[in-house]
């Protein structure tokens, strides 16, 4: 006889924004996926028409959906979702609270195993990606970050959420809210775990590597570095998502990086480039003197 596993009670606060004041198909796809894992509250930093809000509010397990231009960015939407849940006195029923936004395409595949792994890690602050550099301390990127009930039921957490307001500087906003929230949680003695740690964070530079490693999202501002959208097919459970991504990219005029697949080898003497061999898909070879003077071209039949 199998062991019965009690479902984890999750609440997702989803923050959206669209330049055309619509709810994109990639967003409804994302919210649908989350609704299978928990309840969802949706706020967009847009004045959304009722017809657009209905796209979200009719999804099962969506408790509330609205779109108001508040100019407080994602954290302003997180704040409104959190206060709505607080005022409805429903926060106490959940074990995990997640902040999620629409800066990614996905999920490409089932999120449940990833969430289960993170939630069972023993940490109370979890997420997809951690980040740390010379200017910012260790923190969870706020496009997908989760908090255990021991965290989001604390007074310091509610106080933090209530104080969120408009900040015009993006750098200041990131430091005060994205970095600040992780820091204040850890200062109160809670530990952090993420799927991808700061040292291995290549979600912006090399999304193909992230796909191979099983990462379930592609950042929208990194999608062009895939070079071809068909690279997604081995990693996507539902091909309709690729159609949605294609339409969104066309609407936002996102261009793919030119697909060269070119390997370059240089022969140098005392640092001076003497000979260059350029290979394209190992089918075409070009040989240059001093990097620029082509002297030979070889094509494989």
Mean residue pLDDT across the chain? 90
**How many whole angstroms separate alpha carbon 165 and alpha carbon 177?**
10
The predicted structure's pLDDT at residue 4: 43
Domain ranges of the chain: 10-201, 262-299
Dihedral sign for Cα atoms in the order 22, 24, 30, 35: positive
With a CB cutoff of 8 Å and minimum separation 6, the contacts of 106 are 30, 33, 216, 217, 218, 241
Q: How confident is the model at residue 54 (pLDDT cuts 50, 70, 90)?
A: very high
Read off the pLDDT of each residue in 146-170 and give the average, rounded to a whole number: 97
Question: Alpha-carbon dihedral of residues 176, 34, 245, 132, nearest 10 degrees?
Answer: 30
Read off the pLDDT of each residue in 131-151 and give the average, rounded to a whole number: 94
Question: Alpha-carbon dihedral of residues 239, 245, 251, 254, nearest 10 degrees?
Answer: -130
Among 135, 136, 182, CA closest to 160:
182
The larger pLDDT score, comparing residue 168 to residue 3, is at 168
Query: Measured over all CA atoms, what is the biggest interatomic distance in the chain, rounded to whole angstroms?
Result: 75
Q: Are 147 and 183 in contact (CB under 8 A)?
A: no
Which CATH fold would you assign to the domain 10-201? Spore Coat Polysaccharide Biosynthesis Protein SpsA; Chain A (3.90.550)
Beta-strand runs (E) in the chain: 10-16, 39-44, 62-67, 96-101, 104-105, 125-131, 139-140, 144-148, 192-196, 218-219, 262-269, 272-280, 284-289, 293-299
pLDDT in tens, 84-99: 999 999 999 999 999 9
162 pLDDT higher than 90: yes
Cβ neighbourhood burial of 260 (10 Å; 0-12, 13-18, 19+)? exposed
Using a pLDDT cut of 70, give the percent of the chain over it: 90
**How many whole angstroms separate alpha carbon 295 and alpha carbon 297?**
7
Q: Which of 138-147, 159-168, 209-218, 292-301 has the lowest mean pLDDT?
A: 292-301
2 pLDDT higher than 50: no
125 pLDDT higher than 90: yes
Read off the pLDDT of each residue in 15-39 and give the average, rounded to a whole number: 98
Quick one: the chain helix, strand, coil %, rounded to 5? Answer: 35, 25, 40
Q: Are 8 and 34 in contact (CB under 8 A)?
A: no
């Amino acid at each position: 006889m199998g062991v019965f596993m009690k479902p984890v009670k999750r609440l997702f606060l989803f923050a959206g924004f669209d330049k055309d004041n619509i709810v994109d198909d990639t967003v409804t796809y994302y919210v649908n996926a989350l609704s299978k894992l928990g309840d969802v509250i949706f706020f967009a930093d847009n004045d959304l028409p009722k017809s657009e809000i209905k796209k979200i509010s009719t999804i099962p397990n969506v408790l509330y959906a609205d779109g108001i231009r508040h100019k407080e960015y994602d954290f302003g939407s997180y704040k409104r979702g959190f206060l709505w849940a607080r005022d409805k006195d429903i926060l106490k029923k959940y074990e995990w609270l997640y902040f999620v936004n629409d800066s990614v395409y996905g999920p490409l595949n089932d999120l449940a195993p990833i969430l289960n792994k993170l939630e069972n890690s023993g940490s109370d602050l979890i997420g997809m990606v951690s980040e740390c550099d010379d200017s910012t301390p260790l923190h969870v990127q706020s496009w997908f970050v989760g908090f255990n009930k021991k965290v989001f039921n604390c007074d310091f957490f509610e106080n933090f959420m209530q104080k969120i307001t408009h900040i015009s500087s993006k750098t200041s906003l990131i430091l005060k809210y994205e970095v600040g929230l992780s820091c204040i949680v850890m200062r109160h003695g809670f530990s952090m775990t993420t799927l991808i740690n700061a040292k291995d964070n290549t979600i912006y530079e090399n999304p193909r590597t992230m796909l191979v490693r099983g990462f379930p999202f592609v950042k929208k501002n990194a999608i062009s570095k895939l070079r071809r959208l068909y690279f997604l097919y081995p990693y996507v459970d539902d091909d309709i998502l690729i159609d949605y991504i294609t339409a969104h990219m066309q609407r936002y005029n996102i261009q793919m990086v030119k697909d060269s697949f070119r390997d370059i080898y240089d022969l140098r003497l005392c640092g001076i480039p003497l000979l260059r061999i350029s290979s394209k898909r190992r089918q075409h070879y070009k040989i240059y003197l001093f990097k620029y003077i082509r002297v030979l071209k070889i094509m494989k039949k």
